[in-house]
Amino acid sequence: MRPLARRPSRARSGYAGRAPRNIFLNLLVYIPGLSEWAFMLEFSLSGEHTMKMNKRPLPISTICNWHDRIDERPDYQRPPAWTRSQKQLLIDSILREYDIPKMYWRALPAGQKFKYEVIDGQQRLRTIWEYKEGEFGLPKDADPINGFTVAGMKYGDLPLDLASDFDSYAVDVVIVDEAKQTDEEDEVRDMFLRLQNGTTLKAQEKRNAMPGAMRNLVKELGKHPFFQNCRFSAGRYTFDHVAAQTMLLELAGEATNIKDGDLNRMYEKNKTFDINGPKAKKVRRVYDFLLEAFPEKTPELERYNVITLYSLASLLLDRYVTDGVPEKLRTWFIAFEAERRGQDALPEEARDIQLSEYRRLTSQSTDSQESVRARLEMMERRFFEAYPDIEPRDPQRDYGYEQRLAIYRRDNGICQVRIKCAGEKVPWTNWHADHKIPHIKGGKTTVANGQVACSACNLSKGGTAPAVAAG
Ligand SMILES: [Zn+2]
């Protein structure tokens, strides 16, 4: 990302602070990609959209006068709350007349309580308001500005010259107009979430035009009824996009990058993918499980949450007894989201560090391997803390030779299941070692839990275990 440029025309004394410079770098880490963001927003608007954009330099005094008209918290924007030092750095940058990133506001239709809502720039806006209202001061070790001592100063303490520089500092605000907003579709919100990940609007559309088995499978998954219960809408292939991302996670078997380039490669490499093979079946099972967990519209199911929940559900289905688990997952997830969303209202020192970290992970680069992995680890840890009794399945799935021999001799080679037969004697070359308590329900792969089954009984029992013929 391009470093924030100093305003050349109004440059004054040099920026010599050492400590502030370090904080400055932290700020850049916190808001990555903002300059690209602006570019992409404009770029994507050149295509199919009807939105209008106007860039206006607004003095801070105006921004403060309009406080009551601006809704700084539309629900799609949940970046992590800034720390005190991040806030101080922003004010320091303004007072030294450095450029700060553009803000994006959406113009709301007339007759609403607010005139604008903030698409991007919520933290900066709040910081400006808070400083103006005297809620915090500059750092105790702040370097002088234009020869004035400013250490520890709140707005009301500033020398008049600096206070008036602050008031007249012009923030570039891009006003977005005439965007569609209905329950079904919200152009700005959709764009905001996509741009956070550097995803262009057309990427999934292009993939949907790539021929091959993977394209077909993803399109099928995108129609799974679970998606109807998510917060995001089907507009612009969002369902297909998320389905493709989860398919890639399933194929990888672990956290991996799920950006557009990675998805494109998956489509390319899997043109002849077996859409009835074990991986395809597994993905369908995970979505069925998620639908069982979330049988109705659930606003907490944001895109990044669905990806994390998919990974957690996939893991549960692979390794745990899942009877009753969908309900537990729903209960836990809704409580987790409530706690996470409540963090913002708490004072900084009372916040849960893990949850703050989760919010940071969901507000930037959510499609990177690191973010996918960290989110899954956190959800997994918290979910199992809440439900420590969820039972792992026996990692050994199939009976070994010695176990089979012991079961066969104990049962005298006679079918114990007796659903389809009356206790038939089955030859050593054609019998099945059946779990009395099915493996998927937590039954152990032990001789005590094993019994002889004939083919017909084994099949009619549900076919959980693949037939294990003696050899
Ligand atoms: Zn039988």
pLDDT in tens, 382-400: 999 999 999 998 888 899 9
User: Is residue 314 in some structural domain?
Assistant: yes
Whole-number pLDDT of residue 358: 85
Q: Kindly list the distances between the CA atom of residue 293 and the CA atoms of 232, 287, 310, 312, 339, in Å, as whole numbers in the listed order.
A: 17, 10, 11, 12, 19
Ligand 1 centroid to Cα of residue 409, in Å, is: 16
Domain count, the chain: 3
Lowest mean pLDDT among 109-113, 323-327, 337-341: 109-113
Ligand 1 centroid to Cα of residue 421, in Å, is: 4
| Residue 59 domain boundaries | 24-195
Ligand 1 centroid to Cα of residue 456, in Å, is: 6
User: Is residue 392 in some structural domain?
Assistant: no
pLDDT for residue 8 is more than 50:
no
- Shared domain check, 314 and 443: no
Ligand 1 centroid to Cα of residue 433, in Å, is: 12
Whole-number pLDDT of residue 23: 34
User: Is residue 45 in some structural domain?
Assistant: yes
Lowest mean pLDDT among 95-99, 108-112, 279-283: 108-112
User: Is residue 31 in some structural domain?
Assistant: yes
**In the 8-state DSSP scheme, what is residue 230?**
S
Ligand 1 centroid to Cα of residue 452, in Å, is: 8
Mean pLDDT of the chain: 82
Tens digits of residue pLDDT in 16-33: 333 333 333 333 333 333
User: Is residue 49 in some structural domain?
Assistant: yes
User: Is residue 249 in some structural domain?
Assistant: yes
Ligand 1 centroid to Cα of residue 461, in Å, is: 10
Q: Which amino acid is at 151?
A: A
pLDDT for residue 195 is more than 60:
no
Ligand 1 centroid to Cα of residue 28, in Å, is: 68
User: Is residue 118 in some structural domain?
Assistant: yes
Tens digits of residue pLDDT in 28-71: 333 333 443 433 344 344 344 456 778 889 999 999 999 999 98
Ligand 1 centroid to Cα of residue 429, in Å, is: 15
pLDDT for residue 127 is more than 50:
yes
Beta bridge partners of 181: 186
Question: Which long-range CB contacts under 8 A does 20-28 form with residues at least 24 apart?
Answer: 20/89, 20/92, 20/139, 20/142, 20/143, 23/85, 23/86, 23/88, 23/89, 24/89, 24/93, 26/85, 26/86, 26/89, 27/86, 27/89, 27/90, 28/1, 28/3, 28/4
- Give φ, ψ of 356 to 5 degrees: -60, -40
- DSSP for 353-374, please give it: HHHHHHHHHTSS-TTSHHHHHH
User: Is residue 211 in some structural domain?
Assistant: yes
- Shared domain check, 240 and 101: no
Ligand 1 centroid to Cα of residue 464, in Å, is: 16
Average pLDDT over residues 349-355: 86
Rg, C-alpha atoms of the chain:
29
Q: What is the pTM of this model?
A: 0.61
Average pLDDT over residues 94-121: 87
- Shared domain check, 351 and 207: yes
Whole-number pLDDT of residue 230: 93
Taking phi over 0 as left and psi of -120 to 50 as alpha, with beta for the rest, 148 belongs to beta
- Shared domain check, 77 and 160: yes
Whole-number pLDDT of residue 180: 64
Average pLDDT over residues 287-301: 96
Ligand 1 centroid to Cα of residue 402, in Å, is: 22
pLDDT for residue 143 is more than 60:
yes
- Shared domain check, 182 and 39: yes
